[in-house]
């Protein structure tokens, strides 16, 4: 949590002035019991009415000054808290952007989302309250003690005894609760995850009639969360009653000591009232402090969770320097590449070696789980090879700045993802300043132009997740989004699977006719999609089972032949 | 909605609390008792002080007796307070749980039209963040509203018992405090609403971008995305600052009024003491009351702002809970046993939006055991037909019949039990592999599960996972490949073996060799079963009894492979294109 404090930078003035003005207000409050004591000991005793009136006017003035101070304090506190969270959110959001794919896989997106939303809200409330009250309450408590000393040293000792006990109780309960709040949050995460999952899978859930199971599971998780909440609640709500009890015991001791001191003529009756008033002030402040601490403990837990994410170092090592460009005919080369995913039991790719010349089209084919996607995911450094080298234009890809590397490459993943916004905005992901002509050009190649036009053109609003488009429509738009980059290397990871044969064929034809002749990797299940490639890599079980042209592989590679036969024998019949 | 209290929402909140009325009653009684006891203590202290008059003028016996009473009362009060807190917690947390449960149950019966239209992040935010915000407001409301009100009443009575003139001063001045509080609350309600709306927008954006972080990175869009985020973030900062600052004015303002009241009590009290109508101890009790009497007003006004924020959140949750559910099964809806597989579509018309008709005048008669292939360019309405068959959406006109019964007259459960569906977009729940397979049939035995996995060729890869069938897979299948996920989805259907099958491009990301095996298994499974296949693979289509060729939502050709080839139309062109590349 402490490390988050640097995000107060830019709001330092506010973060200091806020509490400061609160302290000024609190100081004024500490004078009230003295004024009241003066009223009793001087005004009432001497029946001095005008003295009483003057003193009461002072009380009003103290209140007025307090009002001014605290309004200023509230403003600064709110400004600092809101600004702090804004900066922190920005930092966290940009930090998440630097995570590698492996990290995203292991951390899980729903956790990241809760941290960006719920945790941030809670932290904001906590920071705001802290700035307003965290210093104020202890200040009043100790201030009251100091004032007690000015009245009577012996009676003040009661304060000296009571305050450590109170602090121990308050902080003890706080320390007890912090880890428990974390558990509450974890359980809430589970509830959240379940709800999200349920929404994405709603069709399957309904198709299999498992709504009731889902409800049962949700209720279970929800219950677990509630039970934990109640558990923490029982402990944290001990705070008020215990402090109340201690204060009252202290008051008893105070009145008793006061009685002895008055009996021996050391202090006056008004002084006893003042001492009692100071103790009451402590009680009032402690109640505030206890509520504040409940809030702060929750916020600290949230803050820690946020910090934990910020502390995750992006595990992709980046070279900032642009490597010297070397002319080479070989665009992509894999040298003894192995890949094992984190926590996986076995290699997903082993001993991969191949070279690709500029402008070639490479087909990659193989069974499910044979490592096709894993292989192409290495090229833009979505994942790093466990051993071996991936070389682009004679330079190891780890020596490129990531952004520069990915500028060369456009990858269209299996899952077609589009974002809320117009078609134009979505396509411009590939190129910020693309003109409408350029966009249409890309759409033409990806066979999406007609479709977009029928929807009403580039201004057609795509809903979140592209829900108002069919699978094939989404795929064609994601392809266009990649094409507009005019990449040197284009990777199509089974990204035309939802296109019918005619569209798919037309699409491949127009790719080959593209002016800047990119090097193309086509991952596919269909032999028809790759059979005219310059080279075909056949994968099986993460190993290369054959490389060559279609007719070569038909002769030399049994795996390839089987795949081909499985598709064409039947259809040719 | 400009009302300070959104009474409609408030009433609904009470509906949920009603269930806990006995606890609530207990809480109220405890609040009354603890407040009375808390208030009695200043009186006792005042009395004690009256026995401590001056040098050699202290009645120790009386003082000690009073102090003992204070000790006992304080102990009992502390204990009762704790019990009350626990009860209040229980009410609050349970109400939240109940609301979440209900909202979740509601999601299960909301029409897909609603779920498809609303960003999931927004719905989740209502279910989680809003209920939480609402919980906090409610908790504060419970603990402070009751004690506040009882304190006010109690203090008033106690004050009256000491001196009515000073009491009058307090009572006349306090409404000022309320006035100020309600003035501020009125002004801030809308600010909170705006804050809440912008926050929802931000949540939705965060959801979308973080869920698709990989795409963001693939396109090096980090900076641009951040820029957009900053825009919303900036807006949120402004609206939050307004809402928070203005609402936080309540406390200082009311505290000032209280200070004025305190001074007023000091003045009238001291003057009365000079006149001899009240003792110094009495004045002490009074000053202490003056604090206590106005403090709850402060708190209540604090509660009011908090409560308003909570109500704004609550109204968003209730909007969800009260959203019109799908048309429920009618009471006399037929429970379809095992259907024969006869499916008829009569003059079906359908559209997602009113302005664009998607399906017009669709007629189709499928005999039991027949195989229907639905093909056509993307976006021609193939998935829509599935939406209609499964009753995810209802037809606008015409009817769909199963075994000659309109499917709207059949319970959804029994209708869907007769369908086995594998969608193009795989969905797996987080849990074990086994959990995911038994979705198809909850009481399946281990042998059945393995059998189904084998039949769908999932068994071999499952075996290789670290814990086999007990391997826990994360959100959306986690580390499984697209093809593996699909195999699991197929295993689910294999397990259930319903009489009608719907396959939506199900095998598009499985390699063809595996697919061939699956098709064999399917062929076995499809024997005697009606099946609808949306596929681009002609090999699966060729053997179909009926092929529906769709374009722009209507059937342009219908017939078997040979008939359609002879027709030499759209289908024939499509079929030939795969060999001409």
Q: Would an 8 Å CB–CB cutoff place B141 in contact with chain A?
A: no
User: CB–CB of B439 and A241 under 8 A?
Assistant: no
Which tens digits make up the pLDDT trace of B420-455?
Answer: 888 767 788 888 899 888 887 888 899 999 988 888
Domain count, chain B: 2
| Number of inter-chain CB pairs under 8 A, A vs B | 496
* A36 in any annotated domain: yes
Q: In the prediction, which pLDDT does A570 show?
A: 46
Q: What is the CATH number of the domain that holds B488?
A: 3.40.50.300
A250-291 pLDDT, tens digit each: 999 999 999 999 999 888 888 888 898 888 888 778 777 777
Residue B579 confidence (pLDDT)? 46
In a domain, residue B534? The reply is no
Structural domain includes residue A4: no
What are B62-116's pLDDT values in tens digits?
999 999 999 999 999 999 999 998 998 898 889 889 989 999 999 888 888 888 8
Q: Domain for residue B131, yes or no?
A: yes
Q: Does B356 touch chain A (CB under 8 A)?
A: no
Point out the domain boundary residue: A268, A284, A311: A311
pLDDT at A364: 93
Q: Is there a single domain that holds both residue B49 and residue B195?
A: yes
Distance from CA of B350 to the nearest CA of A (A): 15
Q: Would you put residue B549 in left (φ > 0), alpha (ψ -120 to 50) or beta? A: beta
Answer for the pair A424, A452: CB distance below 8 angstroms, yes or no.
Answer: no
Is B348 inside any structural domain?
A: no
Sign of the CA dihedral running B314, B318, B320, B321:
positive
Q: Report the distance separating Cα B409 and Cα B411, nearest Å.
A: 7
Quick one: B313 and B436 in the same domain?
Answer: no
- 159-218 in chain A: CB under 8 A from chain B: 188, 191-193, 195-211, 213-215, 218
Are B438 and B313 in a shared domain? Answer: no
Instruction: Collect all residues with Cβ–Cβ distance below 8 Å to A201 and sequence separation of at least 6.
Output: B427, B428, B429
DSSP B329: P
Q: Which residues does chain B have within 8 Å of residue A34's beta carbon, measured at their own beta carbons? A: none
Out of B301, B321, B341, pick the residue that ends a domain: B321
Residues A384 and A517 grouped into a single domain: yes
- Mean pLDDT split into 10-residue runs, chain A, 573 residues: 83 90 90 89 88 93 93 92 92 89 81 88 89 86 90 90 89 85 88 86 82 89 93 89 92 92 89 88 79 81 89 78 73 91 76 91 85 90 90 89 87 84 90 90 90 88 83 88 90 80 82 85 85 89 89 89 72 39
Per-residue pLDDT tens over the stretch B58-69: 889 999 999 999
How large is the average pLDDT for residues B286-296? 76
The answer to whether residue B223 scores a pLDDT higher than 80 is: yes
Chain A neighbors of B439, CB-CB under 8 A: 204, 208, 210, 213
| Assigned domain for A318 exists | no
Determine, yes or no, domain membership for A322. no
Helix then strand then coil, in percent of chain A rounded to 5, is 65, 10, 25
Is the distance from CB of B210 to CB of A113 less than 8 angstroms?
yes
Domain boundary among A311, A338, A369: A311
- Of A311, A344, A378, the one marking the end of a domain is A311
Q: What is the pLDDT of residue A419?
A: 87
Q: What's the whole-number mean pLDDT along residues B326-340? A: 84
The percent of residues above 90 in pLDDT, for chain B, comes to 13
Segment 284-313 of chain A within 8 Å of chain B by CB: 284
CATH label of the domain that carries residue B75: 1.20.1560.10
pLDDT tops 80 at residue B551: no
Q: Are residues A306 and A335 in the same domain?
A: no
Q: What angle do CA A418, A423, A424 make, to 5 degrees?
A: 120
Q: Are residues B316 and B438 in the same domain?
A: no
Residue B365 lies in a domain: no
Both A443 and A563 in one domain: the answer is yes
Domain contains B246 = yes
Say yes or no: A231 and A275 in one domain. yes
Does A66 touch chain B if contact means CB atoms closer than 8 Å? yes
The residue-averaged pLDDT of B212-217 equals 84
CATH number for the domain including A128? Answer: 1.20.1560.10
Predicted local confidence at residue B536, as pLDDT: 63
Question: Mean pLDDT across the stretch B327-336?
Answer: 84
* Same-domain pairing of A414 and A493: yes
Distance in angstroms (rounded) separating the CA atoms of residues A239 and A413:
55
Q: Is residue B369 domain-resident?
A: no
Q: What pLDDT sits at residue B512?
A: 65
Domain count, chain A: 2
ipTM here: 0.78
**Is residue B377's pLDDT more than 80?**
no
**What pLDDT is recorded for position A239?**
84
Separation between Cα atoms, residue B78 and residue B64, nearest integer Å: 21
Give the CATH number of the domain where residue A443 resides: 3.40.50.300
Q: Is the pLDDT of residue B8 over 50?
A: yes
Bridge partners, B70 (sequence order): none
The parent domain of residue B485 ranges over 428-497
CA distance A69 to chain B (A): 9
Instruction: Answer whether residue A3 is part of any domain.
Output: no
Question: Does residue B100 lie in a domain region?
Answer: no
Domain of A263?
A: 12-311
pLDDT at A549: 92
Residues A513 and A555 in one domain: yes
| A321 found inside a domain | no
Question: Within a domain: residue A371?
Answer: yes
- Say whether both A274 and A418 belong to one domain: no
Does the pLDDT of residue B56 top 50, yes or no? Answer: yes
pLDDT at B378 over 70: no
Q: Does B83 touch chain A (CB under 8 A)?
A: no
Give the domain-ending residue among B276, B305, B321. B321
- Give yes or no for a contact between A58 and A42, defined as CB atoms under 8 angstroms apart: no
Residue B239: inside a domain, yes or no?
A: yes
pLDDT single digits (tens) B115-169:
888 878 788 888 888 888 887 787 667 677 777 888 888 888 888 888 888 888 8
**A319 inside domain:** no
* Residues in contact with B531: Cβ distance below 8 Å, sequence separation at least 6, in sequence order: B370, B371, B372, B500, B501, B502, B503
- Give CA separation, A293 vs A83, A445, B543, in Å: 22, 61, 71
Chain-chain contact of A52 with B45 (C-beta, under 8 angstroms): no
Tokens 């989740």, residue?
B124
**Chain A partners of B108 at a C-beta cutoff of 8 Å?**
205-206, 211, 214-215
């Amino acid at each position: 949590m402490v490390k988050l404090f640097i995000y107060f930078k830019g709001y330092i003035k506010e973060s200091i002035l806020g509490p400061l003005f609160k302290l000024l207000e609190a100081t004024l409050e500490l004078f009230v019991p003295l004024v009241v004591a003066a009223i009793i000991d001087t005004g009432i005793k001497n029946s001095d009415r005008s003295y009483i009136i003057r003193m009461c006017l002072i009380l009003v003035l103290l209140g007025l000054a307090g009002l001014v101070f605290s309004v200023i304090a509230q403003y600064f506190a709110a400004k600092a808290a809101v600004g702090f969270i804004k900066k922190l959110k920005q930092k966290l959001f940009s930090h998440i952007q630097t995570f590698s794919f492996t990290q995203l896989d292991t951390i899980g997106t729903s956790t990241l989302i809760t941290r960006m939303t719920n945790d941030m809200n809670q932290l904001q409330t906590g920071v705001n309250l802290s700035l307003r009250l965290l210093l104020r309450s202890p200040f009043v408590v100790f201030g009251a003690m100091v004032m007690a000393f000015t009245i009577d040293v012996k009676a003040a000792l009661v304060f000296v005894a009571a305050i450590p006990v109170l602090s121990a109780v308050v902080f003890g309960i706080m320390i007890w609760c912090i880890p428990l709040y974390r558990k509450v949050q974890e359980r809430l995460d589970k509830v959240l995850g379940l709800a999200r999952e349920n929404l994405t899978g709603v069709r399957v859930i309904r198709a299999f009639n498992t709504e009731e199971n889902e409800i049962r599971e949700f209720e279970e998780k929800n219950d677990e969360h509630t039970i934990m909440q109640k558990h923490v609640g029982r402990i944290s709500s001990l705070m008020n009653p215990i402090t109340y009890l201690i204060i009252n015991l202290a008051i008893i001791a105070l009145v008793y000591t006061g009685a002895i001191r008055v009996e021996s003529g050391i202090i006056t009756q008004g002084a006893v009232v003042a001492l009692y008033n100071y103790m009451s002030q402590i009680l009032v402040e402690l109640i505030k402090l206890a509520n504040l601490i409940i809030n702060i403990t929750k916020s600290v837990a949230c803050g820690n969770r946020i910090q934990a994410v910020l502390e995750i170092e992006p595990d992709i090592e980046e070279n900032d320097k642009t490597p010297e460009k070397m002319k080479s005919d070989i665009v992509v080369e894999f040298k003894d590449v192995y890949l094992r995913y984190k926590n996986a039991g076995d290699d997903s790719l082993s001993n991969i070696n191949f070279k690709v010349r500029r402008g070639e089209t490479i087909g990659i084919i193989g069974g499910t789980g044979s490592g096709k996607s894993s292989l192409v995911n290495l090229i833009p450094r979505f994942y790093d090879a466990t051993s071996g080298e991936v070389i682009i234009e004679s330079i190891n890809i780890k020596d490129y700045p990531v952004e520069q590397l990915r500028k060369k490459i456009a990858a269209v993943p299996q899952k077609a993802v589009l974002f809320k916004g117009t078609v134009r905005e979505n396509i411009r992901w590939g190129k910020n300043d693309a003109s409408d002509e350029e966009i249409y050009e890309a759409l033409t190649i990806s066979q999406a132009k007609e479709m977009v036009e029928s929807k009403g053109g580039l201004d057609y609003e795509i809903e979140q997740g592209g829900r108002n488009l069919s699978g094939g429509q989404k795929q064609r738009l994601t392809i266009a989004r990649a094409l507009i980059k005019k990449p040197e290397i284009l990777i199509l990871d089974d990204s035309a699977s939802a296109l019918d044969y005619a569209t798919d064929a037309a699409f491949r034809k127009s790719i080959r006719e593209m002016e800047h002749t990119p090097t193309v990797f086509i991952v596919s299940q269909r032999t028809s999609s790759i059979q005219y490639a310059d080279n075909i890599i056949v994968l099986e079980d993460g190993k290369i089972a054959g490389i060559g042209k279609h007719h070569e592989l038909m002769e030399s590679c049994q795996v390839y032949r089987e795949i081909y036969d499985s598709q064409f024998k039947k259809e040719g019949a | 909605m400009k009302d300070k209290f959104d009474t409609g929402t408030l009433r609904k909140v009470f509906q949920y609390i009603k269930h806990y009325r006995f606890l609530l009653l207990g809480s109220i009684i405890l609040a009354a008792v603890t407040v009375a006891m808390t208030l009695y203590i200043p009186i006792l202290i005042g009395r004690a002080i009256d026995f401590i008059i001056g040098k050699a003028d202290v009645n120790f016996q009386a003082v000690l007796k009073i102090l003992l009473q204070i000790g006992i009362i304080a102990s009992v009060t502390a204990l009762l307070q704790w019990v009350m807190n626990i009860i209040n917690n229980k009410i609050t947390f349970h109400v939240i749980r109940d609301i979440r449960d209900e909202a979740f149950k509601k999601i299960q019966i909301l029409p897909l039209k609603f779920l498809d239209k609303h960003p999931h992040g927004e719905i989740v935010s209502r279910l989680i963040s809003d209920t939480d915000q609402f919980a906090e407001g409610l908790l504060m409301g419970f603990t402070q509203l009751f004690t506040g009100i009882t304190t006010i009443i109690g203090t008033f009575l106690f004050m009256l018992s000491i001196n009515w003139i000073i009491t009058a001063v307090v009572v006349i001045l306090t409404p000022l405090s309320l006035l100020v509080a309600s003035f501020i609350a009125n002004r801030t309600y809308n600010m909170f609403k705006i804050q809440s709306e912008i926050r929802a927008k931000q949540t939705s954006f965060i959801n979308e971008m973080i869920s698709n972080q990989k795409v963001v990175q693939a396109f090096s869009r980090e900076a641009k995305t951040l820029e957009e985020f900053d825009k919303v973030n900036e807006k949120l900062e402004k609206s939050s600052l307004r809402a928070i600052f203005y609402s936080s004015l309540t406390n200082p303002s009311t505290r000032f009024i209280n200070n004025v009241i305190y001074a007023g009590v000091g003045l009238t009290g001291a003057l009365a003491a000079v006149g001899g109508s009240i003792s110094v101890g009495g004045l002490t009790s009074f000053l202490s009351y003056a604090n206590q009497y106005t403090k709850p007003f402060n708190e209540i006004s604090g509660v009011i702002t908090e409560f308003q924020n909570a109500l704004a959140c609550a109204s968003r949750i209730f909007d969800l809970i009260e959203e019109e559910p799908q048309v429920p099964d009618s009471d006399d809806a037929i429970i379809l046993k095992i259907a024969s597989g006869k499916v008829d579509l009569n003059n079906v018309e359908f559209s997602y939006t009113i302005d664009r008709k998607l399906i017009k005048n669709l007629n189709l008669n499928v005999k039991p055991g027949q195989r229907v292939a639905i093909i056509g360019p993307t976006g021609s309405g193939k998935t829509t037909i599935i939406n209609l068959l499964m009753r995810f959406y209802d037809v606008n006109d015409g009817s769909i019949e199963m075994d000659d019964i309109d499917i709207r007259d059949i319970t959804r459960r029994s209708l869907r039990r007769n369908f086995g569906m594998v969608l193009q977009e795989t969905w797996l729940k987080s849990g074990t592999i086994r959990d995911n397979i038994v979705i198809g049939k909850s009481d399946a035995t281990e042998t059945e599960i393995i059998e189904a996995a084998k039949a769908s060729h999932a068994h071999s890869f499952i075996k290789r996972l670290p814990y086999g069938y007990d391997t826990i897979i994360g959100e959306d299948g986690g580390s499984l490949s697209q093809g593996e996920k699909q195999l699991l989805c197929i295993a689910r259907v294999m397990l259930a073996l319903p009489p009608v099958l719907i396959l939506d491009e199900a095998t598009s990301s499985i390699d063809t060799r595996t697919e061939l095996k699956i098709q064999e298994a399917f062929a076995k499974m499809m024997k005697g079963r009606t099946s609808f296949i949306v596929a681009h693979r002609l090999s699966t289509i060729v053997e179909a009894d009926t092929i529906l060729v769709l374009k722009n939502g209507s059937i342009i050709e219908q017939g078997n492979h040979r008939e359609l080839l002879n027709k030499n139309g759209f289908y024939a062109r499509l079929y030939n294109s795969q060999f001409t590349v």
